[in-house]
Chain A
Amino acid sequence: GQQLNQSPQSMFIQEGEDVSMNCTSSSIFNTWLWYKQDPGEGPVLLIALYKAGELTSNGRLTAQFGITRKDSFLNISASIPSDVGIYFCAGDLSGAGSYQLTFGKGTKLSVIP
């Protein structure tokens, strides 16, 4: 099936640092979404992107929908301990005629106080 490649797989950062992670695919996506998942819980929607080039912020989080529609990135500014978790990108594959989301494997973020 289609795959979304997320990088990095994991990262350790100091509290207060900025974080950047991205998601790429060989296929075009109509929609990009970013979720955060805590252990034992379901993913929580952070940001949704609907147009190529779109840049959207949600508090300290900023995400962009790549111009080629094959990638997206998520930035977190001034990280805090509660940012710890796994961040997933997800997308709606163009032309699939489906409402299913395809997910990446996640970026595990650890914040060192």
Chain B
Amino acid sequence: DTGVSQNPRHKITKRGQNVTFRCDPISEHNRLYWYRQTLGQGPEFLTYFQNEAQLEKSRLLSDRFSAERPKGSFSTLEIQRTEQGDSAMYLCASSSTADRTYEQYFGPGTRLTVT
């Protein structure tokens, strides 16, 4: 399967703990995006990378959030000092820089529950 993969699929953590999620994009895609989705809402953009460069960050991405893509392949999203409001589905997507670049392909997501 050459789709976008995310790990873990589910994470339960206590408030104040740090969590890290991983995303592996489609291999030939050099753009990678992170979105957050809460119940009853569509995905909301957090940040995106082109290769290893983080080119845009949403104001939703507070100081407690950090994302990396060190070698331009997989990416990690870390949340420090988690809060109950961080509970959501975290989605990763990837796209190519060819002419259909807006066609973003999503992974299955990581469901975070902060207790």
By a beta-carbon cutoff of 8 Å, the part of chain A in contact with chain B is 4, 30-31, 33, 35, 40-45, 48, 50, 88, 90, 92, 98-106
Q: Which chain B residues numbered 85 to 115 have a C-beta less than 8 Å away from chain A?
A: 91, 93, 95, 100-109, 111
A45 and B102 contact, CB distance less than 8 A: no
* A-B pairs with beta carbons under 8 Å apart, 26 shown: A33-B102, A40-B109, A41-B109, A42-B93, A42-B108, A43-B91, A45-B104, A45-B106, A48-B102, A48-B103, A88-B43, A90-B42, A90-B43, A99-B31, A99-B33, A99-B48, A99-B55, A100-B33, A100-B48, A100-B58, A101-B43, A101-B45, A101-B104, A105-B42, A106-B40, A106-B42
Q: If the complex has contacts A33-B102, A99-B56, A101-B104, are A43 and B43 also in contact, measured as CB distance less than 8 A?
A: yes
A55 vs B46: C-alpha distance when bound (angstroms) = 31
What's the count of A-B pairs with C-beta under 8 Å?
66
Contact-residue bracket for chain B: 20 to 34
What's the nearest-Cβ distance from chain B to residue A74, in Å? 14
A103 and B48 contact, CB distance less than 8 A: no
A102 vs B48: C-alpha distance when bound (angstroms) = 14
Residue of A nearest to B106 (CB): A42
B109 and A42 contact, CB distance less than 8 A: yes
- Quick check: is B41 within 8 A (CB to CB) of the other chain? yes
Given contacts A31-B102, A42-B4, A45-B103, 12 further A-B pairs with CB under 8 A are A33-B104, A41-B109, A42-B6, A42-B106, A45-B104, A88-B43, A92-B102, A98-B56, A99-B33, A100-B33, A100-B58, A106-B40
